[in-house]
Amino acid sequence: MTVLIIVLCIILITIVLVQIGKVTELTAQIKGEREVMRDSSKWNGYLSVGFLVVFLLAVFISAWEYKNQMLGYGPHTSASEHGASLDSLFDVTLIFTGIVFVLTHIALFWFAYKYRWSENRKAEFISHDNRLEVVWTAIPAVVMTLLVVRGLDTWNTAMADVAPGEDFIEIEATAQQFNWIIRYPGPDGKLGTRDYKLTTSNNQVGQDFTDRKNWDDVLVGQEMYLPVGKKVRVRIIAKDVLHNFYLPQFRVKMDAVPGMPTYFVFTPVKTTAEYRNELRKYPEYNEPYDPADPTGPKRWEKFEYELACAELCGKGHYSMKRILRVVSQEEFDAWYKKEPSYYVSQIRGKDDDPNKGKILDIDPAEVPAAVPVEEPAK
C-alpha cells in the first residue's frame, strides 16, 4: 500500500513537472529569446544577492546560536593542558578562514548580480593580471606559513612522549568489540607484560602472570579515575579490529591498532567537579538531565567525562562508552587503594594461575616499585 502511494506520488510529480516544463517552453516561445534572457537575468541576479544575504545571515546567526560548541569557548573548553593551545589554533584558523569566506562569497555573488547579462553591457577582455595574481598567491602562502608554524609547534608539543625521568602515571586501554578494558599498574607503578596468546575469558588482556609486575595490576570497572595535574600516559591497544581512544573534553584521540601499541600523553587540568562548576554558568546545562523528570538533577550536576570510540569497529561502534572521573590526588589515592589487584582477586590459586601451588616471595597485591631482578621460576 505504502509503495503504491509512493509510486503514485512520483507519477503525479512527474506529470506536474513535465507540464511546468511544457508551459515554460511555450511562454518562452511567445515572449521571444531576448525577453526571456532579460527576465532570467533580472530574477537570478536578485536571487544571487538574496541568497548571499540570507546565507551569510544564516551562517552568522547559526554560529551565534551554536557558539557554545566552538572549541575553547564557553562551556566547550579543554580539560587538558595541551588542549588549550589546540583550541586557540582552531580560533585563529577560524578568524582567517572566516574573513576569506565572507569576502569571497560577497565578491562571487555580488559580481554575478552586478555584471548580470544585459544587451547593452559588453564584457571586458581581461585575460590575466600578473601583479594581482602574484598578490593573491602570496597572501595565502603567508597565512598558510603562519598557520603551519603554529600548528606544528602545537602538534609536536601535544604528541610528545614522556621525557626520561619525568613523573607520570601509565595506564593501559585495551579496546575490543565493543568495550574498553582499562588496566592500572598497581603499587609498583608498572604495567605487567602481556601476550595476546594468553588471552582467555578469565584473562581478557592476556596478562602474563609469571611476570610479577602483573600481580598488582588493576582492571577497573565502569568508571576510571585520574588525578588532576598529573601527566598520564595511556598505552592504547586493540585486540581485534581498529578502535580509537577518544576523550572529547581532553582533546585526546588515538587509534588502537592490533599488533601495534600506540600511546597518548596528556595532563588533566580540571577535575570533574571543577568542570561541572564551569558548566553550571550556561543555561543549557541548567536544564534537567532527564527531560522526563523536570525536577530531577540538572545536566551540569550529572556531567561526566566520557571515553568514546572514534574509529569504525563494527556494529556496536557507537556504544563503546566509559566514564572518566578526574579527581584530586588524595581522592585518587583513596580510590586506587580500594581497587583490588586482578591477579589476587580473580586468578590466584585458580586453575589458570601459572603460579598455582607456589609460594610467592612478595605480597602480590603490594609489588614494590623496584621489582627484584630475579624472575620467578617458570
Partner 1 sequence: MANAVTAVETLEEKLTQELGYDDHFHEHHHGDKYQSNFLTTYIFSTDHKMIGRQFLMTGIFWAIMGAAMSIVFRLQLGFPEADMAWLRPILGKWIQVNEAGIGKLDPEFYYSLVTIHGTVLVFFVLTAGLSGTFSNLLIPLQIGARDMASPLLNAFSYWFFFLASVVMFLSLFLSTGPFSGGWTAYPPLSALPQASEGSGAGMTMWIVAMAMFIVSALLGGINYVTTVLNLRTKGMNLWRMPLTIWAFFVTAILGILSFPVLLSGVLLLMFDRSMGTSFYLSEIVVGGQILDRVGGSPILFQHLFWFLGHPEVYIIILPAMGIVSEVLSVNARKPIFGYRAMVLSILAIGFLSFIVWAHHMFMSGVNPFISNFFVVFTLIIAVPSAVKVFNWISTVYASNFRFNAASLFSVGFVSMFISGGLTGIFLGNSAIDIQLHDTYFVVAHFHIVMGIAAFFGMFAGIYHWFPKMFGRFMNETLGKVHFWGTMIGAYAIFWPMHYTGMAGMPRRYYDGGASFDAFRHFTELNQFITVAAIVVFFLQLVFVINFFYSIFSGRKMTVKNPWGANTLEWTTPIHTGHGNWPGNIPTVQRWSYDYGKDGEEFIPQYVPLKEGEHDHGGH
The answer to whether the CB of 306 falls within 8 A of the CB of 322 is yes
Please state, in angstroms and as integers, the Cα–Cα distance from residue 137 to each residue in 102, 143, 149, following that order. 19, 11, 19
Q: Which stretch binds partner 1 (CB under 8 A): 162-170, 215-223, 302-310, 334-342?
A: 302-310
- The amino acid present at 311, given as its one-letter code, is E
Q: What is the CA radius of gyration of the chain?
A: 31
Question: Is the CB of 230 or the CB of 321 nearer to partner 1?
Answer: 321
Per CB under 8 A, the list member of 49, 71, 162, 273 interacting with partner 1 is 71
Question: What minimum distance in Å lies between the beta carbon of 96 and partner 1?
Answer: 8
- H or E segment to which residue 182 belongs: strand 179-184
**Other CB atoms within 10 Å distance of the CB of residue 15:** 10
Question: What minimum distance in Å lies between the beta carbon of 345 and partner 1?
Answer: 22
Per CB under 8 A, the list member of 193, 199, 210, 267 interacting with partner 1 is 199
Query: Taking CB under 8 A as the rule, does residue 46 contact partner 1?
Result: no
Question: What minimum distance in Å lies between the beta carbon of 329 and partner 1?
Answer: 26
Per CB under 8 A, the list member of 7, 8, 57, 152 interacting with partner 1 is 152
Question: Is the CB of 250 or the CB of 364 nearer to partner 1?
Answer: 250
Question: Is the CB of 4 or the CB of 370 nearer to partner 1?
Answer: 4
Burial (Cβ within 10 Å: 0-12, 13-18, ≥19) of residue 209 = buried
Distance of CA 371 to the CA centre of its chain: 38
Report the side by side order of strands in the sheet with 252-256.
223-227, 322-327, 305-309, 243-247, 252-256
Question: What minimum distance in Å lies between the beta carbon of 274 and partner 1?
Answer: 17
Per CB under 8 A, the list member of 7, 8, 12, 17 interacting with partner 1 is 17
Write out the three cell numbers for 13: 510529480
Per CB under 8 A, the list member of 208, 304, 331, 339 interacting with partner 1 is 304
Question: What minimum distance in Å lies between the beta carbon of 302 and partner 1?
Answer: 7
Q: What is the dihedral of CA 354, 360, 364, 369, to 10 degrees?
A: -110
Question: Is the CB of 8 or the CB of 360 nearer to partner 1?
Answer: 8
Please state, in angstroms and as integers, the Cα–Cα distance from residue 26 to each residue in 12, 14, 23, 35, following that order. 21, 18, 5, 13
Question: What minimum distance in Å lies between the beta carbon of 138 and partner 1?
Answer: 9
> In the stretch 93-132, what mask flags binding to partner 1 with x, by CB under 8 A?
xx-xx--xx--xx-xxx-xx--xxxx--xxxxxxxxx--x
Per CB under 8 A, the list member of 239, 280, 325, 348 interacting with partner 1 is 239
Write out the three cell numbers for 2: 505504502
Per CB under 8 A, the list member of 7, 35, 40, 333 interacting with partner 1 is 40
Query: Taking CB under 8 A as the rule, does residue 60 contact partner 1?
Result: no
